[in-house]
Structure 1
Amino acid sequence: MLQILGITGPIFILIGIGYLSARGGLVNPIQVQGLGKFVITFALPALVIHALLEKPLGEVFDPLYLLAYGIGSQLVFWGGFLFSRLVRRDSLSGSALAALGMSVSNSGFIGYPIVAMVLGPPAAVALALGMLVENLLMIPLALAIAELGRQNGSGARAALQETFSRLVRNPVIISISIGLALALLDLKLPGVLAKVIEMLSSASAPVALFVIGASLVGLRAGGLLKDVAQLSLGKLLLHPLAVLLCFQLLPPVDPALKVAGVLFASAPMMSIYPILGQRFGLEGRCAAALVVCTVLAFASVSLFIGVMR
């Protein structure tokens, strides 16, 4: 138990520092937003490029990992969507956002620092592979369905076009494309540029954890017990269990990547979840779930570290 706390403790201490800094007025929301943009626009893309170029593409691209992580995430997504839509009678947009919150992790801000402390270098490879699933499959699917809930008839085509337009401008998607292109062409970055990429990638974890902590200030979970319970249970328990099940049933992958996939799935939902929900009038629900899942993740991540060990 002490070993697990030694791994997860520093992560949540950094989150706590970010929270207390924002709560005490040392940083304001505009500064926190700027730090978040730095991570999303520069640090995380640099981390992805660094991961894709650190090893030969054949060692980075693992189709069995993509299959297991993708199927596990899809199982939870559609399970959450159907439960929200058929049992709880939620709207199409609300069901899509609930499914998204249950099946897409905060891979860069929380998942990566945790997995990096447990496994070291394989964490960056798993991050790049996981982001392929999240950014090319899960997020576009959820947003397309949510947009369809706001439009009728011809709106479907417009929703798909808008989703695709946002996707191709995503810095992470751009970095994946650059990294894959360089890897396929077997090209190496010049020494100076490679060093810049390495320095930016190393800044990703601590700055990201500070941002997620600061972003929790002001969020409240009151009055949304059923929504928060569904999202917390789905994200922190069902998602990692579904991914673990897929790893067990499919042909074996690198044991380190298997551990990484389950731990990434055990992280809470992405920190931009309330921002995505705001477009559909669901920011309160999404923010409340983010607060609770981030707090409960200390226990769930520790649990799955123990299970995987």
Structure 2
Amino acid sequence: MQALLDVILPVFLVIGFGYVAVWKGLFPATGVDALMKFTQQFAIPCLLFSAIAKLDLSASLDARLLISFYAGAASGFFLGFAGARILFKRDWEDCVAIGFCCLFSNSVLLGLAINERAYGQEALAGAYAIIAFHSPFCYGLGITAMEIARNRGQSPLVMARGVARAMFRNALVLAIAAGFIVNLTGLVLPNVLNDALDLVIRAALPTALFALGGVLIQYKPEGDARVIAMVCAISLIAHPAITWMLGTSLSVPRDVFNPGVLTAAMAPGVNAYIFANMYGRARRVAASSVLVATAASVITAWLWLMVLG
């Protein structure tokens, strides 16, 4: 219970403040859109760029952690895809969008905030190692699957162009790539630039959490209840369970194992809706899944913290 009070609830209270502020008209919905754009296009990319640029790659990039997390994520995608097709008879494009909801956990807005409160700043290296590959992996898998579904019969070159175009328009992917370039080349950034980045970074997570609350009020859990329940079960239970089992069998070090499982246990991120909206597929399922799973993760994240000790 103490973990729920000390770690989980403060994060969700900030989300709740954003939700209530927009609901009661204390903060305009247009302002929330602007906040979300600021966090997704500027503040979070600055955070990821700075974190990757300073990350000790030799110590943090544990292959066993990445295998356990991303095997769980990919399993979530294929479980969601297969469930949508076999159980609910959705068309192929809808199946990809629903699978993406099960794939893309909220590793930044929720994952970083909860991991920091649970394990401290020094434990975030494992979370950042996951995040370094999260957007490229998830968007790469989702976009590739969607391009195959949409362009069946077309040449592989056309599909490859569609994947590359979507990937290199993503600010998170570009920021992570730039961070790796700085890290691997040993480039030293001027102090004035680091100070400016720090100012933006301090605003990133609280602003993003508040904006997430404001965004969630736009979504209504209407219809598709069984599909949404499947997405929630895969995202909040199956993905972290697979990560936990693989991480245990691979003897992932505890200091990165716990953040890895907890990151896997996060609800689908807003990017799940962005992906669905980008292709105009399963938008109601994606939006409602983000809302319902985010609310449910108050309890499931607490349970996973207890499992992890």
In the other structure, the counterpart of 1:274 is 273
> What's the CA shift string for 1:223-249, capped at 9, x where partnerless?
211111100111111111111111012
Q: What stretches of structure 1 of length at least 5 have no aligned partner?
A: none
Separation in structure 2 between the aligned mates of residue 99 and residue 212 of structure 1, nearest angstrom = 22
Give the structure 2 partner of residue 261 of structure 1.
260
- SS of residue paired to 1:259: helix
Partner-residue secondary structure (3-state), 2:280: coil
1:50: which partner in 2? 50
Provide, for residues 35-86 of structure 1, a one-character-per-residue CA deviation record: whole Å limited to 9, x for no partner: 1111112221222222223343312322222222111211222222222223
- Residue 281 of structure 1 deviates from its aligned partner by 3.3
Give RMSD over aligned pairs: 1.8
Separation in structure 2 between the aligned mates of residue 86 and residue 222 of structure 1, nearest angstrom: 22
Alignment of 1:58-77 (within 5 A): 58-77=58-77
Equivalent pair of 2:258/2:308 in contact (CA under 8 Å) = yes
Cα shift readout 1:107-152 (whole Å, capped 9, x = no counterpart): 1111111111112224543343223332222222112222333333
Equivalents in 2 of 1:155, 1:281: separation in Å?
Answer: 23
Q: Number of residues paired by the alignment?
A: 308
Asked if 1:175 is matched to 2:166, the reply is no
Which residue identity does 2:64 align to in structure 1? L
- Matched ranges for 1:170-249 at <5 A: 170-249=170-249
- Assess, with a 3 A threshold, how the Cα gap between structure 1 residues 103 and 281 changes in structure 2: closer, same or farther: closer
Q: Distance in 1 between matches of 2:62 and 2:216?
A: 35
Matched position secondary structure for 1:188: coil
Which position in structure 2 is the counterpart of 1:110?
A: 110
- The code of the aligned residue for 1:14 comes to V
Q: Which residue of 2 aligns with 1:286?
A: 286
Contact kept? 1:104, 1:269, Cα under 8 Å: yes
The residue type equivalent to 1:267 in the other structure is M
1:275 positional shift: 2.6
**CA distance 1:83–1:65, shift in 2 (3 Å):** same
Letter in 1 for 2:182: L
How much does 1:174 deviate? 1.4
Aligned to 1:30: 30
Pair 1:93 & 2:109 matched: no
Scaled by the length of structure 1, the TM-score of the pair is 0.93
Distance 1:280 1:232, change over 3 A: same
- Rounded to whole Å, the distance in 2 between the matches of 1:46 and 1:246 is 32
Could you tell me how far apart the structure 1 residues matched to 2:127 and 2:202 are? 14
The residue that corresponds to 1:128 in the other structure is 128
Determine the C-alpha separation between the residues in 1 that align with 2:199 and 2:117.
18
Residue 17 of structure 1 and its aligned partner are, at CA, apart by 0.3
> How many angstroms does 1:180 deviate by?
1.1
AA paired with 2:263?
Answer: F
* Structure 1 residue identity aligned to 2:267: P
Q: Which moved more, 1:111-120 or 1:48-57?
A: 48-57
Distance, in Å, in 2 between the alignment partners of 1:224 and 1:198 is 42
Identity %: 23
Taking a change above 3 Å as real, the CA distance of residues 103 and 123 of structure 1, as seen in their structure-2 partners, is farther
Instruction: State the one-letter code of the partner of 1:172.
Output: L
Residue 255 of structure 2 aligns with an amino acid whose one-letter code is A
The letter of the residue matching 1:272 is N
Displacement after TM superposition at 1:6 (Å): 1.6
Q: Would the aligned equivalents of 2:240 and 2:262 in 1 still touch at CA under 8 Å?
A: yes
In structure 1, the residue corresponding to 2:105 is in which secondary structure?
coil
Report the secondary structure of 1:189's partner residue: coil
